[in-house]
Amino acid sequence: MTLEQRVQAFVTLGEKISTLPTYDIDYLVRGASSENGWFDEESVKAALKGISVILEASTLEEWVNKYTLSNTFTDKHILVIMAGNIPLVGFHDAFTTLLSGHKLLAKLGSQDTFLMKWILRELQEIAPDFTSQITFLEGKAEQVDGVIATGSDNSARYFQSYFGKYPNIIRKNRTSIAVIKGDESAETLGRLQEDILRYYGLGCRNISKIYIPEGYDLKPLLGALEKPAMNCIQNHKYSNNYDYNKSVYLVNKVPHLDNGGLMMRETSELVSPIAVTFYETYQNGAELKQILDTQKEKIQCIVTDGQWLAGSYNFGDAQYPKVDDYADGVDTMAFLQSL
């Protein structure tokens, strides 16, 4: 199967995803939510939308041309250990592995098997040659030529000890932040709902902390986030987390702000619990840069209004990365190309 044929197969997959009829989406939502209570209709639709965008023909062709990829299938076996915190979070690793021509050994996240199996089987229907390239791994892999593993800091230590002898990309816990300048409009602030609350805050691209200038009034932001936060409360798992964290704060008399669906607490900590967003003040750009430099190994992405900081995303864009927005800043395709 040539590189051009592989690209076309993924383009066709993207087109199919973008035109799924309602009954197919309903089927996917039922299957995904029965496996994972966080995977509701909005979350599944958002994940599918994000994938269909990166699989557009012009996007893929421009991206692939940056690399020197095999024009035939290779004999390399790539073990991809996927997380399951948000719908189809492991797709990009699977996609790059197959597009590069390697064989995919997919170790699926325990709470995201339904959607991942569905999308890869759809690919096999579009291009049956991929059938021999995809293995859903249940036990131990007999042959491994490279490893891409995503998990927590604890699991990363295990991955490193077990798979360190192979060429690898091993990802640890990361989170994302927002920086407010202080002159943003209410409409602009409202776009932060996508970055904070999409997928209920479970992803590494979700904003867990906001940096605000000294003296900034957070009430307009809390107001802008009130309606989407109240929508989140309708999910019982999110609601349970909100109630639990609110109780902890009240019992321990922890100062916090609350709009009825999302709490905000001032702290130097970086990673907030579900239904809570941390915040911290800064005096000037130099101080902010110093703070961010000390935390860069834990930050997945930064959002600001108008991409105020180099390499940042606009408000509302964090959950829709481009095809070359690699997790942890490590070029996955370059890694696969090198094997």
- Binned at pLDDT 50, 70 and 90, residue 307 comes out as low
Share of the chain above pLDDT 90, in %: 89
Note the pLDDT tens digit of each residue in 289-300.
Answer: 899 999 989 999
- Binned at pLDDT 50, 70 and 90, residue 113 comes out as very high
Which residues, other chains included, contact 115 with Cβ-Cβ below 8 Å and sequence gap of 6+? 28, 31, 32, 39, 44, 47, 87, 88
Dihedral angle over CA of 256, 153, 323, 330, nearest 10: 120
H/E segment holding residue 107: strand 103-107
CATH 3.40.50.920 fits 3-173, yes or no: no
Burial class (CB in 10 A: 0-12, 13-18, 19+), 278: buried
CA distances from 212 to 177, 216, 221, 272, 306 (A): 11, 6, 11, 16, 16
Q: Tell whether the model's pLDDT for residue 310 goes beyond 80.
A: no
Q: Would you tell me how many other CB atoms lie within 10 Å of the CB of residue 6?
A: 26
Delimit the domains of the chain by residue range: 3-173, 175-314
Q: Are 16 and 87 in contact (CB under 8 A)?
A: no
Note the pLDDT tens digit of each residue in 50-64.
Answer: 999 999 999 999 999
Name the CATH superfamily, with its identifier, for domain 175-314: Aldehyde Dehydrogenase; Chain A, domain 2 (3.40.309.10)
**Span 7-13, average pLDDT:** 98
Between 254 and 296, the more confident residue is 254
Q: How far apart are CA 185 and CA 318, in angstroms?
A: 19
Q: Tell whether the model's pLDDT for residue 272 goes beyond 90.
A: yes
H/E segment holding residue 228: helix 219-232
**How high is the pLDDT of residue 306?**
75
